[in-house]
Chain A
Amino acid sequence: MKKFSGKVLFLDRSDINTDEIIPAKYLTEITKEALKPFLLEDLVLNGFNNKEDINDKAVIVTRENFGCGSSREHAPWALEVNGINVVIAENFARIFRQNMYNCGMFAIQLPKEKIDYLFDTYSDKDTTITIDIDRSKIIVTTQDRSDEIDFVIGEFDKTLVKEGGWVGYADKNY
């Protein structure tokens, strides 16, 4: 199973689309690793620099409709090869969300007030998030405080994360 813990990258914007996550010109790559330098290269967000801000991050916290647009699974893969296996948002575009779980990664949906709370309390701090799958808790910590936030995911999604993705599960069951 993948690692679901580490430093948080806060992206304070809604509708971050798949072209921003990984531009189409890189879809000619046929290995996931080749996508690594290009994650969020075209993201329109004040002050964001993909060369510096992604370094050593493992979790993204963002607003609404993350991953809208293309079906390209290159978007989760670009996250994965950068060590980011968790995205927490108010909601996700369907295909992107399914792609995350199909790859054994987390796309966790939280109500608006909890997303607001995370931004208000933690976005200006050096924050770490750990996903406790069995207890369905998001554990948020900084040097001087911590929180536990409940999350809900379906049984299918949980199974895909635990089994490492859809291909293995489907091969056993269909």
Chain B
Amino acid sequence: MGKTLAEKIFDAHRVNMPFPDTHVLKLDRVFCHEITTPIAITDLMARGMDRVFDPTKIKAVIDHVTPAKDSKTAEQGKILRDWAKRHGIKDFFDIGRNGVCHAIFPEKGFVRPGFTIIMGDSHTCTHGAFGAFAAGVGTTDLEVGILKGVCAFHSPKTIKFVLNGSLKPGVYAKDLILFIIKELTVNGATNMVIEFTGPVVDAMSMESRMTLCNMAIEAGGTSGVCYPDMTTVEYLWEFIKDEFSSKQEALKEYSKWISDEDANYEKIYEYDISNLEPMVTFGFKPDQVKPVDEMIGTKIDQVYIGSCTNGRIEDLRIAAEILKDKKINDDVRGIVSPATPDIYTMALKEGIIEIFQNAGFCVTNPTCGACLGMSNGILANGESCASTTNRNFNGRMGKGGTVHLMSPATAAASALEGKITNSQLYKG
């Protein structure tokens, strides 16, 4: 019997199995942000264990609330900042250089095929786009990860999606993942890794693959993964060119991180998605998904384009194409948060920021703030937001607010109308 990608990564990282079905894995990366890490740091200090296993494998960012909004968030930032300095954690991204964790860490070249990665953030599954096993964990797992460089997991079962055909114009990775979550339901992949394969994924950019893997957790998945290929090598080339004599050589090395043909899957789904339409959520669960045409006319008060799901340059380009030379509806507040400083800079150079501003959008610094209602962009009671984020839980963006998840294209078109609309009406 062959092995899945996740099983191969487990085999390569297993320290031991202290109990049946308990694999303790060596970690290649421990990512940290200022909301879930400071308590781990404080606890380690209280236990007299203020140490880190390897400062070069720990990467940290202040991204959820930045700039700090009050004394408490200032204190969280300070704890993380002081800790990074104290332990020589060089890859620490503070204000001016900081971006949304799952956008900035890949952008800096910290992820490789075959890696094990944890972070105290549920959307850590994003990094599986590179063929890594990347899982969100709580603060205690993070604490042990920081201290010992290990984490425990049960045996990974895998669900495979074979996605055939091609995405129609105006339909994106976000629409596809919303459709997949609808099929799986919110706990259909609990304790499982979701593999995204097939011609549709092969044709996708790394940004789109990250969007796909980012929302694996919304179906309960431990990680979402894509197989590494030349697109992965091209994305990483700047960071790996000293390690390999050619891109082909890198591809050969990374190609060992794919599942065997006779691997054992919990379930295999195969779809031709050529007829997939843009999708939008309703209600308060990410599996409550409908084609946009069934949601047209739903009134919105705010549009948010950003987050670890869809705040990348590809997303901003798609939205800008729709917003160019147009004004958003008078009754809508438009907010865009480029996910990293590099994305912001690229968007400036390409004239995208100007397009957003001319259309009437407010452009914020890179931050997670609005997505989880932690700092800026909070909804009032009874308001709704057309959002490119990943969660539509009740009150997610503020008590009494409703979030509709959608692609950047649908969000941009909806901003123009002041109600949910099909972006395909604004093409060509």
Contact = CB atoms under 8 A, between A and B. Distances in A.
Interface of A: 15, 17, 19-20, 23-25, 27-30, 42, 44, 64-65, 68-73, 76, 91-96, 98-99, 102-103, 154-156, 159, 165-167, 170-171, 173-174
Interface in B137-160: 137-141, 143-144, 147-148, 150, 152
Given A17-B393, A93-B187, A71 B122 contact: yes
A143 to B, nearest CB: 36
Most buried by B among A68, A98, A165: A68
A155 B19 contact: yes
Given A94-B222, A154-B21, A19 B140 contact: no
Contact of A170 (B136, B144, B395): B144
B137 A98 contact: yes
Given A15-B285, A65-B186, A24 B373 contact: yes
A94 B190 contact: yes
Contacts of A165: 140
Given A28-B70, A170-B148, A174-B148, A99 B138 contact: yes
Contacts of B138: 71-73, 76, 95-96, 98-99, 102
A65 to B, nearest CB: 4
Given A68-B220, A159-B19, A174 B141 contact: no
A156 B147 contact: no
Contacts of B22: 154-156
Interface stretch (B38-46, B105-113, B236-244, B294-302): B38-46
A167 B144 contact: yes
B35 interface: yes
A171 B20 contact: no
Contacts of A72: 35-36, 138
Interface in B234-271: none
A91 B376 CA distance: 34
5 A-B pairs closest in CB distance? A73-B138, A99-B138, A102-B140, A155-B19, A65-B187
Contacts of A73: 36, 39, 120, 138-140
B20 A155 contact: yes
Most buried by A among B19, B147, B391, B393: B393
A170 to B, nearest CB: 4
Contacts of B15: 174
B288 to A, nearest CB: 11
B150 A30 contact: no
Contacts of A154: 19-22
B285 A93 contact: no
A67 B15 CA distance: 29
B426 interface: no
Given A30-B39, A65-B186, A20 B137 contact: no
Contacts of B187: 15, 64-65, 68, 91, 93
B65 interface: yes
B72 A29 contact: yes
Contacts of B396: 19, 24
Contacts of B358: none
Nearest to A73: B138
Contacts of A96: 138
Nearest to A65: B187
Interface in B167-191: 186-187, 190-191
Contacts of A173: 18
Given A28-B65, A30-B42, A98 B395 contact: no
17 contacts: A15-B186, A17-B393, A19-B396, A23-B395, A24-B373, A24-B396, A25-B373, A28-B70, A30-B42, A30-B72, A30-B79, A71-B36, A72-B36, A91-B187, A94-B220, A102-B141, A166-B144
A4 B150 CA distance: 29
Interface in B1-30: 15, 18-22, 24
Contact of A19 (B38, B47, B220, B394): B394
B73 interface: yes
Nearest to B221: A94
A105 B344 CA distance: 44
Most buried by A among B19, B137, B138: B138
